[in-house]
Amino acid sequence: MEGFSAVVTTGIYCRPGCGAQPRADHVRKFSLAAAAEAAGYRACLRCRPYRYPLLVTWTDPELVCRGVRMILDGALDRGAEGDGGNESDLGRRLGVSARHLRRLFTTHLGVTPDGLARSARTHFARRLLDDTDLTITEIAFVAGFGSLRQFNHACRDVFRETPRDLRAKRRKTDRLVADGGLLLRLPFRGDLDWEAMVAYFAARAIPGVEHIFGGTYRRTIAVRGHPGVLELFRGGPDHLVLRAHLPHWEELIHVVERARRVASLDFDLDAPARQLAADPIVGPLLRARPGLRVPGTWDPFEMSVRAIISQRVSIAAANTLTGRLVNRLGTPVSGLRKLGLSHTFPSPDTLAAGDLSGLGLTRASSDAIGAFARCVASDTIRLDRSISLEHLVASVTAIPDLEPWTAHYLALRLGEPDAFPATDPGLQMRLGQLAGKQPSEIGALAERWRPWRALAATLIWDADADHRIPDARMDAA
């Protein structure tokens, strides 16, 4: 995680690249903005570190990184019933006590899990104060605060000013105005090959659920059972823009975080680039496409079902079959035909109990989809990244007809940095072309790319003539 610099004499912390030049002996380093805040420092008004994302580089202990990811996804903002989680719940999900979890966070990050969640909520609220015309009361609840009083208290702690004072100081260029929906910036660090990402999504868009027009990715979503629409498009060299059409704003902070995952905006490219740059196979690919990122997903369950369907068929056939499934079991949403959208994807419970006959699926695929949906619904398979890569792969491959390469592909799309579908026919063929390697040699070869094998696989898949990112198979997914 990229560090922040705090100045002892001023009580202010800055992001890297800020123009302030304090004396070196007056500077303290923190890995997170939340850690600097926990130590009593406030955000710089010049560089505005709250506008920049928290990157997870997986260089800290794996459990800490998984905890951070889950906190950013809302693990401490809501419980299973939507009424708020706590550190004990998060610890149980990760397999440790709350006390041990707090100790790990404090040791490695300098802030408790609760402190990190509070900082994330406050930073998100500050961006809304800058970028939108939502009222202060609306922002308090959108950002996950239980009351306006809590919001005011958090702003005073972190920014030393009230929300009203902060909004009065926003810059003219901050405010985003849209004819429809709510516009929000999604900043990222480093390069992003958004065109390659959009091409990937366009080739595999689920009919009715996803649609790509020009450089914009559109999709339907469900927010507490109610339909909405998201649009993602390039806003500038350092940010995408999210246009959200939502039934209500209560879940906005979690909607934004999940939208970031679609394009892997929180993945720090610096650490893998340093390791992979000198590799004779992956290094040249990385230099040719420095902004290529592992494609993410909005809905891990939806993505997994489509990947299961695509195990034995072409990309076009997988799109058709998944579209049929959505038409039968998805929830229709009216008024979206002009956007190329019509349904939300069925939930695990719906799909587990649904009739898949007559869709054109093989019996093996139908059985695998039903079994997978039941396992997700019962929490036997976890798609929230609370478990290790090995555990996830084992739970997926326990289902008949689901191969290890499929499980690794699911993990790769979920954001597991070391997922690597070594037995994928497309990856084997590409490595045969690039390095003259036989399938039996690929597993050993990939060991030198740990713990960034997912990015290595993406670069290798992308190394074809038209620079398209294949899916888990060259002629599938």
The catalytic site residues sit at 14, 424
Is residue 224 within 8 Å of 260, Cβ to Cβ? no
Q: Which amino acid is at 176?
A: L
Sign of CA dihedral 197, 203, 208, 213: positive
Alpha helices for 143-225 (secondary structure H): 148-159, 163-168, 194-203
Tokens, residue 426: 């497309």
Question: How far apart are alpha carbons 217 and 109 in whole angstroms?
Answer: 35
Is residue 3 within 8 Å of 29, Cβ to Cβ? yes
In sequence order, what E strands does 111-225 have? 182-187, 210-213, 216-223
Q: How many CB atoms lie within 10 A of CB 270?
A: 11
- Per the DSSP assignment, residues forming a β-bridge with 344 are 331
Question: How far apart are alpha carbons 193 and 127 in whole angstroms?
Answer: 25
Question: How far apart are alpha carbons 8 and 23 in whole angstroms?
Answer: 10
> Do strands 343-344 and 331-332 pair parallel, antiparallel, or not at all (unpaired)?
antiparallel
> Do strands 216-223 and 226-236 pair parallel, antiparallel, or not at all (unpaired)?
antiparallel
Tokens, residue 467: 């620079």
CA distances from 108 to 31, 103, 112, 123, 450 (A): 9, 9, 10, 21, 22
Question: How far apart are alpha carbons 464 and 227 in whole angstroms?
Answer: 38
Tokens, residue 109: 């990050």
Q: How many CB atoms lie within 10 A of CB 220?
A: 26
Question: How far apart are alpha carbons 420 and 458 in whole angstroms?
Answer: 9
Q: Which amino acid is at 380?
A: T
Q: Which amino acid is at 12?
A: I
Tell me if the bond preceding 451 is cis, omega within 30° of 0. Answer: yes
Where does residue 357 fall: left (phi above 0), alpha (psi -120 to 50 degrees), or beta otherwise?
A: beta
Task: Give the residue among 377, 409, 386 at the shortest CA–CA distance from 296.
Answer: 409
Tokens, residue 442: 């690929």
Question: How far apart are alpha carbons 76 and 116 in whole angstroms?
Answer: 10
